């Protein structure tokens, strides 16, 4: 039988495909802290935004804090990535 290795990132991304707020929030944490991925604050903002839209209160707070560290262009790029991700689900 073939053995399949999944990283925690793979597992969380799989859960996030279903739009689970906690999984989306966890991806934001991963990208903001560089856990299993390179630090990418634009990606972190995207995942926090998606989690916040699904009611995760912690994500709302983290997104607000992160917004103060990003340029308006970075925030706009994050929002565009979030919209693209949402379209990919349909």
| pLDDT tens digit sequence for 14-53 | 666 667 889 999 999 999 999 989 999 999 999 999 999 9
User: How many domains, in total, are found in the chain?
Assistant: 1
Instruction: Please give the backbone phi and psi of residue 71, each rounded to the nearest 5 degrees, phi first.
Output: -75, 165
Is residue 2 a part of any domain in this protein? Answer: no
- Terminal alpha carbon distance of the chain: 33
Give the residue numbers spanning the domain of 71. 14-88
Is residue 35 a part of any domain in this protein? Answer: yes
Contacts of 71 (CB under 8 A, 6+ apart): none
Q: Is the pLDDT of residue 1 over 60?
A: no
Both tokens assigned to 56: 């995760």
Is residue 27 a part of any domain in this protein? Answer: yes
> Looking at residue 3, what is its pLDDT?
44
Is residue 36 a part of any domain in this protein? Answer: yes
Is residue 6 a part of any domain in this protein? Answer: no
Both tokens assigned to 41: 């604050």
């Amino acid at each position: 039988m073939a053995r399949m290795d999944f990283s925690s990132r793979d597992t969380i991304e799989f859960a996030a495909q279903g739009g689970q707020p906690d999984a989306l929030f966890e991806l934001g944490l991963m990208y903001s802290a560089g856990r299993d991925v390179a630090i990418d604050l634009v990606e972190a903002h995207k995942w926090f935004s998606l989690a916040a839209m699904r009611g995760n209160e912690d994500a709302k707070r983290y997104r607000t804090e992160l917004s103060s560290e990003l340029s308006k262009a970075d925030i706009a790029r994050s929002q565009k990535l979030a919209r693209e991700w949402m379209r990919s689900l349909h």
